[in-house]
Amino acid sequence: MAEALLDMRNITKVYPNGVVANQDVNFSLAEGEIHAVAGENGAGKSTLMKMMFGMEEPSRGDIYLRGSKIRLNSPQDAIRMGIGMVHQHFMLVPSFTVAENMVLGMEPRKGIAINYSEAVRLTKEYATKYNLHVDPTEKVENLSVGMKQKVEILKALVRGANILILDEPTAVLTPQETDELFDQLKLLKEKGHTIVFISHKLKEVKAICDRITIMRSGRTEGVFDMQQVSEQEITRLMVGRDVVLKYEKEANSIGKPVLRVKDFTVCSKEGKRVLNHIQLSISEGEIVGVAGVEGNGQSQLVDAVVGKLKGESGSVEVGNVPIGGMDIESVRGLGVSYIPEDRMRQGTAKEASILDNIISTRFKGKEWSKLGFFKRSKMLELTEEYIKKFQIKTSGPNQEIGMLSGGNMQKVVVAREGSTEPKFLIAEQPTRGVDVGAAQLIHHNLLELRSKGCAILLISADLNEILELSDKLLVMYEGEFVACFDHPSEISEQELGLYMLGINRQEQGDIRRGMHV
Amino acid sequence: MFKSKHFEYYRTASVLLIALLLTFIIISFVSGQPLHTIYIFLYEPISSLSHFGNVVEMAIPLTFTGLALALLFKMNMFNLGAEGTFYFAGLMASFIAIRISMNGALHPLVCIMFGGIVGAAISAIPGWLKAKWDVNELVTSLMFNSILYGVGQYLLNYKLRDSAAYQTASFKFESTAVLSKLIPGTRIHTGLIIVIVCVILAHLFMYKTRWGYELRMTGANREFAEYSGIKTGRVIIYVHLLAGLIAGIGGSVEVLGMYSRFQWNALPGYGMDGALVAMIAKNSPIGVVGAALFLAYIRVGADMMSRYSDVPSEMISIIQAIILLLVSADQFLKFWKNRMLLKEAQKHA
């Protein structure tokens, strides 16, 4: 290997909320390689990359570029030194054209005006050079996710990036788009660029990377040449033990339907149908999974089944009660629980204690207060019980929830939502950004609820999770269900990808019959 | 030794200390006898019972407005309406104290309750606008301060003014309405009891009741509160009512405890000082007492200083500005917290 192009030595990063994201991490990048950074969610990969890109400053430790020490105070510094980053969530202005986004902040000028034709020319030049074909005059909001990613990569290249950091680039892509991306990355490598590829999907890492740095709970577990290490080996280092997500599901007698969505249609502001005549029925003791590329109507479906979204046509019923237009308190009163996708925004109040977060959905009950005064010792007991049952790592019920790691925070959310004897539970990305141990615990909890007769709607981008847990799997594409599978664990991820991408679709009649509606 | 979870206490203490040190530095530039001046500033307020009485009687209105604002701030509402509410409720209490005669024990109570209810009603308007249409509470509350002042001046001049008085002031209160003195040798009045009761009730409300819980959750993350099934619009309205009630009681108590006529010809400023008190106290009702006492202490100290030395009392504005600046500056001393965190992390590793 050539000498290190970029070297991060003994990096420690502690966030203001006390979370230690990196602890004495060493990372070294050789010129012209594709280097994977692998690890479970929450292992500290993103933090490390943010420091490499100047978005965060290390609490301790140094960064060296070509042997000389550098200080990155902002992404501008990083860009100046030839480091570019493609974020998981794109940093583009949707209402601007591709070319305008491309030159944002470095606009070519003609007098005092911006020289648009030059911007278009520049975009075309780079697009041809790197074989990343985009239409420079198209508005970004009209592009598909895969296209947006190309724009992001080009944006970094136009700014002179020599080192390119890709933060989980495949998370939002279908398997087919992923293959295309890999071809492009190989081309970039041939042209002499160095790429850092962050992922926790081993197959992908194996497919294109030269070397791999494995991280686990904030530390580096080792650096390997890709040929010299097996997938099993990597898994073991990533999670600290051999884990196969495989669950023994006991056969369950399926009861009467709990959730009934009939012919539900919703249009976006632009008049596009984001939910198109949705039919859905979930029964007691049944887990129905919904797979799909993000942004195909899943979040609207969730809003609809919690009563937040009123449809243009159709109805949503929970236990034969129509919930359209009901307030959240009454919907919850029907026995509906909801594990939201974003635990920071919706699922928790991060300055509040664990106890406060646990009781938020049940404190109105008579048994929790007397004349309006809380029965605090009873609440403490409850919280301690959940801390024990869910193995939440904390100093006690009064600790601020914001001080916990993502996985433990999510356990609090699941404990709260799963423990009120729900009749119907919506689990939206229940294990996103959560370590494997916590994920297993959460999965077991969902299965436990299933055997108690709870109807569960599971929406997840984690295909492994959704294939393993679901009794029935639906695929969503552009606001419609395009496939329904009765035995999800027998489907391959590739096959699922074809449906998610909208290439294949089943007959509507078959889907309905599959759903028994 | 230092723990990061106590960081906020250290920071507040450092802020107060830095403000005091800066004061000393400025004093030593302006004063002919800096040491003597500092001595007066620090010691005079506690040198005698009557001086200490001054501190307490000034702390009473500051505690009232501080409490009202602590409730609002805790809910993450930056409403500064306590100023106008305090003033206007005082005027309304005066109205009852002047125009209506009543049995001695009942009279002040009726005045104060009336002031409080008026305060609650006034305060509910920005709250309702916020809950209903998400109107910025800072804007409405500040505008209300001006409106209330204008209306108050009109009422004072055309309805309550005693032309026989030497200044613009109302008729004298009925003697039955005036709050009696509590401690001989000082002007400390029975309002002290009322304020202590209010502090305890506010504390219990905030931390022990379900309504206080709803308040705290709405403040910590409104979206989370909504998601959990709390009707945050309703919470915003009842907290505004409560804050207005406290500020209103405060205004009434101040007028009846300290004066014999209503004679505020400008907004008294307690509402704005209350914001400072609430911020120093980190919105804790019990903390408000300490913060109000501290502020009253340096105020009285500055007052004494201007009387017995060559430094004017306006000096105090500088201290207040520094405190406000540092308390509200999130990044201040952050590096210190980061270092504490790093150390603790290493210990655990």
- Cβ contact B77:B137 at 8 Å: yes
Helical H runs in A338-375?
354-358
Element at A275 (helix H, strand E): strand A273-283
Mean of pLDDT values over A330-355: 90
Q: How many domains does chain B have?
A: 1
Q: Which residue of B has its CA nearest to A352?
A: B220
Give the sheet arrangement for strand A68-70, strand by strand.
A20-30, A4-14, A60-65, A68-70
Judged by a CB distance cut-off of 8 A, whether residue B242 touches chain A is no
Judged by a CB distance cut-off of 8 A, whether residue B230 touches chain A is yes
Residue A503 C-alpha, separation from nearest chain B C-alpha, in angstroms: 37
Say if B304 falls within a structural domain: no
**Count of Cβ atoms closer than 10 Å to residue A416 Cβ:** 23
Rg (CA), chain A: 24
Q: What percent of chain A has pLDDT over 70?
A: 95
CATH number, domain of B81, equals 1.10.3470.10
Judged by a CB distance cut-off of 8 A, whether residue A346 touches chain B is yes
Cα separation, A75 vs A91, in Å, equals 13
Give how far Cα A340 sits from Cα of A305, A362, A417, B89, Å. Answer: 13, 17, 10, 45
Mean of pLDDT over chain B: 89
Judged by a CB distance cut-off of 8 A, whether residue B225 touches chain A is yes
pTM: 0.78
Say if B255 falls within a structural domain: yes
Cα separation, A239 vs A243, in Å, equals 7
pLDDT digits (tens, 9 = 90+) for A360-419: 999 988 889 888 899 999 999 999 999 999 988 888 898 888 878 778 889 999 999 999
Mean of pLDDT values over A134-160: 87
Task: Give the pLDDT confidence score for residue A516 in this predicted structure.
Answer: 64
Q: Which residue of B has its CA nearest to A402?
A: B220
Say if B345 falls within a structural domain: no
For the record, the structure tokens of B204 come out as: 């219990």
Say if B279 falls within a structural domain: yes
- Cβ contact A67:A74 at 8 Å: no
More confident residue, B332 or A376: A376
Cα separation, B215 vs B224, in Å, equals 12
Task: Give the pLDDT confidence score for residue B145 in this predicted structure.
Answer: 94
The answer, yes or no, to whether residue B176 has pLDDT greater than 90, is no
β-pair type (A83-86, A163-167): parallel
The answer, yes or no, to whether residue B19 has pLDDT greater than 70, is yes
Cα separation, B297 vs B42, in Å, equals 8
DSSP A2: P
φ, ψ of residue A28 in degrees (nearest 5): -135, 135
Cα separation, B69 vs B79, in Å, equals 7
Cα separation, B115 vs B249, in Å, equals 6
Nearest to A48 by CA among A214, A210, A211, A182: A214
Angle at A401 between CA A399 and CA A403, to 5 degrees: 80
Q: Which residue among A329, A346, A356 sits closest to B231, beta carbon to beta carbon?
A: A329
The answer, yes or no, to whether residue B249 has pLDDT greater than 90, is yes
**A84 strand-pairing partners:** A164
- Tokens 């979204």, located at residue: A309
Domain range summary for chain A, segments of one domain joined by +: 4-239, 244-335+421-517, 353-420
- Res. A242 pLDDT band, cuts 50 70 90: very low
The answer, yes or no, to whether residue B349 has pLDDT greater than 70, is no
- Res. A194 pLDDT band, cuts 50 70 90: very high
Q: What's the domain range around B124?
A: 51-295
Say if B270 falls within a structural domain: yes
Cα separation, A150 vs A138, in Å, equals 13
Say if B276 falls within a structural domain: yes
Give the lowest-confidence range in A177-181, A224-228, A249-253, B268-272: A249-253
Say if B341 falls within a structural domain: no
For the record, the structure tokens of B112 come out as: 């104060």
Q: B282 burial class (0-12, 13-18, 19+ CB within 10 angstroms)?
A: middle
Is A23 close to B334, i.e. CB distance below 8 A? Answer: no
Q: Which CATH architecture has domain A244-335+421-517?
A: 3-Layer(aba) Sandwich (3.40)
Is A361 close to B210, i.e. CB distance below 8 A? Answer: no
Interior/surface letters A98-126, b for 16+ CB within 10 angstroms, e for the rest: bbbbbbeeeeeeeeeeeebeebbebbeeb
Nearest to A473 by CA among A286, A288, A254, A250: A288
Give the lowest-confidence range in A247-251, A369-373, B118-122: A247-251
Domain A4-239 has CATH 2.130.10.10: no
Cα separation, B319 vs B19, in Å, equals 6
Q: Which residue of A has its CA nearest to B4?
A: A18
**Count of Cβ atoms closer than 10 Å to residue B231 Cβ:** 16
Interface test with B, best of A11, A328, A331, A393 (most B CBs within 10 A): A328
Say if B160 falls within a structural domain: yes
For the record, the structure tokens of B32 come out as: 């002919």
Mean of pLDDT values over A455-467: 87
pLDDT digits (tens, 9 = 90+) for A82-140: 999 988 778 888 889 998 888 888 888 888 888 888 889 989 998 888 888 888 888 98
Is B227 close to A364, i.e. CB distance below 8 A? Answer: no
